[in-house]
Amino acid sequence: MGVNNEKRAVLILKDGTIIHGKGFGALGTAIGELVFTTSMQGYQEALTDPSYAGQILMMTYPLIGNYGINKTDFESDKIQAEGFVVRQPSDLHSDRDATKSLNEFLKEHNKPGIYGIDTRALTRKVRNFGVMPATLITYVGELPAESMSSALNYNYSAINFVEKVSTKKPLTFGDGGTSQRTVVLIDYGVKLSIIRELVTRNLKVVVVPHDATAKQIKSFEPHGILLSNGPGDPAILTDQHKTIRELVNYPIFGICLGHQLIAHAFGGDTYKLKFGHRGSNHPVLDKVRNRLVITTQNHGYAIKNMPKDFEVTHEHANDGTIEGIHHKGKPIFSVQYHPEASAGPHDSKFLFDEFVKIL
C-alpha cells in the first residue's frame, strides 16, 4: 500500500516555526520533543526503541521505508516515538522478510507522520537552537483547531517516561545453560536486542520493573546486574539512584540511561545536551584499548561531573563527552552508547563478553 497523498500535515515548533507538508501514517496529533537521528537505516528499530518515548523522531537520511517492516527487528512491542518526520517515505518496499509498509505500520500503531519537507534544513535548525517541543498534526481537509500552544507547556525533562515504558512484572528469558548464571536486568526501557545478547551468552535473564527494590532484586540470587537504556532525564529518578547504591557489591553493567544512573548513584551529575547523540555512526575513543569504535547512540543527556572512585574509559571523538566509566575498585562499568547496536555496527559487542567474564 502506498502513501495516501490526500493527507496533509503540519509541524509546529515551540519557537513559532510552522512547517507544512504531506501526511502519512495515522490521522491525529502528536506532541513531543523534536529530535533527529543520523542513521541511514534501522527505522523499525528506532521507532520501537523505548528511549524515544516522548519524542518526535526525524530521520536525516532522505528516503525511508524502502525495505518495509518485518517481524523480527522490533526493540519493543510497539512504536514508542510520538511521531515520525521524513523527507520521503517509499511508496514501494522490497524485502523478503517484509510483512507491511512503513505507512501501514504507523497507521496500525496510531502514529502520525509528515513528509515532503526539508529535513536537512530542519536538522540544521535543531543543531543551531537545540531540541524543542513540537506538535505534529496529520489531517484531511481543513487544519484542525490545534495550534502551537499544544507544545508550549511541554517539558520533556520533567516527565518520568521510564515508568511508562518499563515492564510491570518480572519476566524471565533463557535458562542459564550449563553455567546456570543469572543476570537481573533492571528495565528502564530496555531494547530487546540487549536481552538477546545476554541470552546468546548462556545467561538466564530476569527482567524486573524500574521500581524493583534492592531486596526484590537480591531475591533472584543474581550473579550480576544490568542497568538498561531508557528515556528521559536521569536526574529525576532518585529512587533508582538509591537502589543502585544498595547493589554496589554485585558486578554491574550500565548501558545508556543505566550509565547515567550509575553516575548519579555514586555522586556524579548529568546535563542535557543541546541536540543529543542519535544515530549509528558515532565515533568513540576507547581509552583502555587505545582504539576508535563506531557506535550506535540514542541519548539526550551526558555525564557532567564524574562520580568519586570512577575513571573515564571512553570519550566521544566529536565533542569529548564522557561515553564510558569504570569503578576503580569494583566490577562496575558502563557505556553511554549501545554495544548491542541494532541497527548499527558491532564494534562493541565484546563488552557483553567482558560482563560475562566478571560474573
Which residues are marked as active site? 256, 338, 340
Q: Which residue, 304, 311, 284, 287, is CA-closest to 295?
A: 284
Distances (CA, A) of 346 to 42, 44, 281, 293: 14, 18, 11, 9
Instruction: Return d(Cα 83, Cα 334) in angstroms, integer.
Output: 30
Give 307's DSSP letter.
P
8 A C-beta contact, residue 212 and residue 241: no
Contact 206, 238 (CB under 8 A): no
Of 352, 57, 78, which Cα lies nearest the Cα of 224? 352
Q: How far is CA 36 from CA 118, 124, 305, in A?
A: 13, 10, 26
Could you give phi then psi for residue 71, rounded to 5 degrees?
Answer: -90, -10
User: What cell does 357 get?
Assistant: 567474564
Residues sharing a CB contact under 8 Å with residue 272, sequence separation 6 or more, in sequence order: 157, 233, 300, 301
User: What burial class does residue 128 get, using C-beta atoms within 10 Å of its C-beta: 0-12 exposed, 13-18 middle, 19+ buried?
Assistant: exposed
Helices 238-245 and 257-265, packing angle to 10 deg: 70
CA dihedral 320, 61, 14, 272 (to 10 degrees): -20
